Amino acid sequence: MGKRLLLRGNEVIAEAAIRAGCQCYFAYPITPQAELLGYMALHMPRLGRTFVQAESEVAAISMVYGAAGAGVRTMTSSSSPGISLKQEGISYLAGSNLPAVIVNIVRGGPGLGNIAPSQCDYFQATKGGGHGDYHLIVLGPSTVPEAGKLTMLAFDLADQYRTPVMILADGLLGQMMEPVELPDPVDPATLPIKDWATTGAKNRTPNVVLSFDLDPDKLKQMNLDLQAKYRAITENEIRYEETDTEDAEIVIAAYGTIARICKSVVRTARAEGIKIGLFRPITLWPFPYDPLKALSERVHTVLSVEMSAGQMWEDVRLAVAERAETPFFGEMGGIVPTPRSILNEVKKHVR
Told to check if 12 binds other proteins by CB under 8 A, we report no
Tell me the closest approach of the beta carbon of residue 52 to other proteins, in angstroms. Answer: 6
Tell me the closest approach of the beta carbon of residue 23 to other proteins, in angstroms. Answer: 7
Query: Which is nearer to other proteins, 6 or 201 (by Cβ)?
Result: 201
Choose which of 1, 184, 187, 202 interacts with other proteins (CB under 8 A). Answer: 202
Query: Which is nearer to other proteins, 69 or 148 (by Cβ)?
Result: 69
Give the binding-site size for other proteins (rule: CB under 8 A): 40
Give ∠ CA 3-35-177 in degrees, rounded to 5.
Answer: 50
Query: Which is nearer to other proteins, 134 or 329 (by Cβ)?
Result: 134
Tell me the closest approach of the beta carbon of residue 100 to other proteins, in angstroms. Answer: 10
What are phi and psi for residue 78, nearest 5 degrees?
Answer: -165, -170
Note the Cα 181 to chain centre separation in Å: 20
Choose which of 6, 177, 201, 309 interacts with other proteins (CB under 8 A). Answer: 201
- Which residue stretch of 54-62, 119-127, 251-259, 296-304 sits at the interface with other proteins (rule: CB under 8 A)? 54-62
Q: Using N-to-C axis directions, what is the helix angle for 9-19 and 34-46, rounded to 10°?
A: 30
Told to check if 78 binds other proteins by CB under 8 A, we report no
Tell me the closest approach of the beta carbon of residue 223 to other proteins, in angstroms. Answer: 17
CB-based burial label for 202 (10 Å; 0-12, 13-18, 19+): exposed
Told to check if 62 binds other proteins by CB under 8 A, we report yes
Told to check if 200 binds other proteins by CB under 8 A, we report yes
Burial 261-300 (b: 16+ CB within 10 A, else e): bbbebbeebeeeebbbbbbbbbbbbbbbbebbeebbeebe
Query: Which is nearer to other proteins, 48 or 273 (by Cβ)?
Result: 48
Instruction: For residues 176 and 173, give the distance between their C-alpha atoms in angstroms, rounded to a whole number.
Output: 5
DSSP 256: H
DSSP 182: -
Told to check if 64 binds other proteins by CB under 8 A, we report yes
Tell me the closest approach of the beta carbon of residue 148 to other proteins, in angstroms. Answer: 24
Instruction: For residues 231 and 106, give the distance between their C-alpha atoms in angstroms, rounded to a whole number.
Output: 27
Choose which of 79, 104, 211, 243 interacts with other proteins (CB under 8 A). Answer: 211
Tell me the closest approach of the beta carbon of residue 154 to other proteins, in angstroms. Answer: 18
Q: Which of 345, 308, 307 has the alpha carbon at shortest distance from 327?
A: 345
Told to check if 206 binds other proteins by CB under 8 A, we report yes
Told to check if 74 binds other proteins by CB under 8 A, we report yes
Helix or strand run (H / E) with residue 7: strand 4-8
Told to check if 88 binds other proteins by CB under 8 A, we report yes
Told to check if 164 binds other proteins by CB under 8 A, we report no
Query: Which is nearer to other proteins, 8 or 86 (by Cβ)?
Result: 86
Q: What separation in angstroms does the CA of 295 have from each of 238, 247, 290?
A: 15, 11, 9
- Which residue stretch of 84-92, 136-144, 159-167, 246-254 sits at the interface with other proteins (rule: CB under 8 A)? 84-92
Told to check if 24 binds other proteins by CB under 8 A, we report yes
Instruction: For residues 26 and 57, give the distance between their C-alpha atoms in angstroms, rounded to a whole number.
Output: 9
Choose which of 39, 65, 161, 313 interacts with other proteins (CB under 8 A). Answer: 65
Q: For residue 298, give every residue at least 6 positions away whose Cβ sits within 8 Å of its Cβ, in sequence order, or none.
A: 248
* Torsion on CA atoms 46, 47, 52, 53, rounded to nearest 10: -50
Told to check if 59 binds other proteins by CB under 8 A, we report yes
Binding footprint of other proteins on the chain (CB under 8 A) = 23-24, 26, 50, 52, 54-56, 58-60, 62-72, 74, 88-89, 92, 96, 198-203, 206-212
